[in-house]
Structure 1
Amino acid sequence: MTKVQGDGLIVATPTGSTAYSLSAGGSLISPSVNAIAVTPICPHTLSFRPIILPDSIELKVRVDLNSRGTSWVNFDGKDRIELKQGDYVVVTASPYAVPTIESSPSEFIESISKNLKWNKREEQKPFAHFLSRKV
Structure 2
Amino acid sequence: MQAGYVISGIAHAGFIGWALFGGMFTPKDQEIVFNNVSVLSEAEFQAMIASDQVPEVPQFDLTALEPSEDTDVVPTLAEQTDQEVDQSEPEQPEPVAEEITPPEPVEPLVVPTPDITTPDVQPPAPQIETAMILPDVS
Structure with bigger gyration radius = 2
Scaled by the length of structure 2, the TM-score of the pair is 0.20
Q: Which structure has the highest strand share of the two?
A: 1
**Structure with more contact order per residue of length (Cα contacts < 8 Å, sep ≥ 6):** 1
